[in-house]
Structure 1
Amino acid sequence: MGNAVTIHLIRHGKTQANIERKYIGHTDEPLVNVEAVNMPLDAKIVYGSDLLRCKQTANLYFPNANYVANSNLRELDFGHFEMKTYEDLKNDAEYRAWVTDPENVTPPDGESFQHFKKRVFTALTDIICEQGNYTFIIHGGVIRVWLAAFLHKPFQDVTAKHDTIYTCSWKEFFSWKEGTQCTSISEVPITVKESL
């Protein structure tokens, strides 16, 4: 695999806001229910967001790796929708417009989808500048944006689960650089270690 590019995408562990199904973007919340896991992947360097939930997940999953934090890998800034649930927002006309068309409607005082997409792709292309294996611990929205591009699918058709490694590969670096659809993709679950 001399000139190949392989990217492993892992969503951070759950926070209280995730459990309560709140929109959590730039709020810096820690993980809850931290458990040792069976990690079927090894990495010496892990890239990710500068927020606590990604750093803690990286430390849990890859305790011996060097973590490289990048604020451009943060989740979307949800503005007025931050830390609110669907139930809190369902009668808000601006929220309904955003949910219907998140690529063209911006949350009040939040970040536009186009700005979000540009910043996370800038970070990605700054990091991946040669062939090799790259591991990221990031947010669900970042994974969805990247997978949509890697698979040439609409953003709305892509999901990003917790406790899953999404691996995308290209046989040649130039194929990655040109934005060609990845040649293979896999999803591998991350399981909790059984106690003895």
Structure 2
Amino acid sequence: MRLVLVRHGETDGNVMRRYTGRTDVPLNENGRVQAAALGRELAEESVGRLVHAPSRRTRETAVLLAAGMNVGGMRLEAEERLWELDFGAWEGLTYEQAHARDGARLWAWYDDPWTVAPPGGETLRALDERLTAWQEEMCAGHGGETVIAVTHGGPIRLWVAKYAFGDAGLFPQLWVPPGGHVVCERSEGRWNLVKGVVTR
């Protein structure tokens, strides 16, 4: 199985460095250009399924991606478990604004995102549980095909850390830019990173 994990194209929230996990923002113009260009780059992939998180920015990316790959007629599948981490009360805030409002909680979350959540948000463990369930279901039902999943930075970083590198604790050190992608292949029960991911 081959898995191409795509981070949605750029949004204004990315440019302003805002927490926009569940905030449903669209791509900006640069993000649309990125998505179209990535579609052309991935045109040689023999895609079997194209799934996306339910957010507007991931769906817009998936549509532009499909057009660039010349698979515009392919059914796009929305997958709830590919949502970004929920940042709760910090949604829409910059790091500086979140720190001014709730500095102690912010630092506690940075130190231990697995058990500490943003106020009203979710922990990294909750995201891990979502991704694990999706990964198991995907492997059980789609053995030999290429799956393209358009999602968010958090899920991609956690996926690569846990499944490709075998250490979920590497999550904070990994980075995939808006419009970027990674490629993983599964062989003999293991995921191997083929392309992509940048360390901070």
User: What TM bracket, shorter-length normalisation?
Assistant: 0.7 to 0.9
Judge conservation of contact 1:44–1:66 (CA < 8 Å) in 2.
Answer: no
Matches within 5 A, 1:57-136: 57-63=61-67, 64=72, 65-91=74-100, 92-129=103-140, 130-136=143-149
Q: CA shift at 1:157, angstroms?
A: 2.3
Unaligned runs of 5+ in 2: none
Change (3 A) 1:184 1:25: closer
Look up the equivalent residue of 2:2 and give its one-letter code: T
Match of 1:171 among 187, 193, 200: 187
Unaligned runs of 5+ in 1: 189-196
- The aligned residue for residue 161 of structure 2 is 148
Judge conservation of contact 2:21–2:85 (CA < 8 Å) in 1.
Answer: yes
More helix, by proportion: 2
- The aligned residue for residue 177 of structure 2 is 161
Judge conservation of contact 1:22–1:85 (CA < 8 Å) in 2.
Answer: yes
Write the distance in 1 (CA, Å) between the matches of 2:111 and 2:6.
Answer: 26
Q: Which ranges of 4 or more aligned residues in structure 1 deviate by more than 3 Å? A: none
Write the distance in 1 (CA, Å) between the matches of 2:83 and 2:179.
Answer: 18
TM-score (norm 2): 0.81
Look up the equivalent residue of 1:134 and give its one-letter code: V
Select between 7-16 and 97-106 the one with higher mean Cα deviation: 97-106
State the percentage of identical aligned residues: 29
Q: CA shift at 1:100, angstroms?
A: 2.3
